[in-house]
Amino acid sequence: MFSLQDSNTEPVVKEPLSQKMFYYFDESGDPKIFGHRGKNLLQDGLVSKTFSVGYVEMSNPHQLLVDLENLRKELMEDEYLKAVPSVQNLRNGFHANKDCAEVKEKVFKLLKKADFEAYIIVARKDESIFRRKFNMSDKKLYKFLVAELLKNRLHLYNEIDIYFSEMSNIVSVSNMTEALNDAIAKFQQKWGKENNGNIRIFLQQPSHLPLLQVIDYVLWTIFRVYEKNDFRYFNFIREKIKLVHDIFDVQANQFYGTFYTDKNPLEQKKWSPISG
């Protein structure tokens, strides 16, 4: 159902499905390039080389919620894992960057069987692009990425609840509302079709909403690809990841970047690694 707006194949715009869908958003990496007194953090290798925003989409969040909670309790009570310090952090839920290898294995195997799809947009950090397009504003960058990611996704269902992971003043109800309005406007401008669906926005902490921990794990696999050239975890759940839009991959396309989908899968042999 995803439409590649900038590909050579023009999609057919379908009528929205009469079902309620749930989107759970998070981000990975650091949007910053400069630090205190203009120090170039990117050049000095002090921040990530990319900043990504993504979401998981599902129609039945309750089942995955139950499965995650059962797994969390099982792991916390596991006698073999009790001595691992990070396991105590499971009181606040799963976190891919902090969970030990044994926990990661269990979570990834659960996610592989779960019913959801993931959509991700990756921004390679480039000072000239970030300055020209966003005036080095983290808030503008985040809003732009959300709008680009959703511009072909908001018309698909009559009703959508969107949950964003809180992120200081960058992810606010007002900023995310503007992002959704931008996405709707871009779709309408291209297709001349209004979006009359019911879309609601919620802000939550991942510890309070376990399904935000799902997109945290998915985004971590993309982070490993772009930051470490490590495809192991991505390849394990790649069938769940329906889109990776490498939007500033100017080596591939200076205007739109690269769209990795089922038809054009993200693979090590054709991916443009990031130096540094």
pLDDT at residue 194 in the model = 84
Res 3: pLDDT: 40
User: What pLDDT does residue 10 have?
Assistant: 47
**What's the confidence (pLDDT) of residue 76?**
95
Q: What is the 3-state secondary structure (H, E, C) of 85-150?
A: HHHHHHHHCCCCCCCCHHHHHHHHHHHHHCCCEEEEEEEECCHHHHHHHHCCCHHHHHHHHHHHHH
Sketch the domain layout of the chain as residue ranges. Answer: 18-59+113-260
Pick the closest to residue 236 from 212, 218, 253 (CA basis). Answer: 218
State whether CATH 3.30.420 applies to domain 18-59+113-260.
Answer: yes
Q: Average pLDDT of 145-153?
A: 95
Report long-range pairs for 92-97 (Cβ below 8 Å, ≥24 apart). 92/207, 93/206, 93/207, 93/210, 93/213, 94/68, 94/210, 94/213, 94/216, 94/217, 95/206, 95/213, 95/216, 96/216, 96/217, 96/219, 96/220, 97/220
Taking the complete model, does pTM exceed 0.85, yes or no? yes
In terms of Cβ atoms closer than 10 Å to its own Cβ (0-12, 13-18, 19+), residue 106 is middle
Here the tokens at position 52 are 């990504």
pLDDT digits (tens, 9 = 90+) for 211-254: 999 999 999 999 999 999 999 999 999 999 999 999 999 777 77
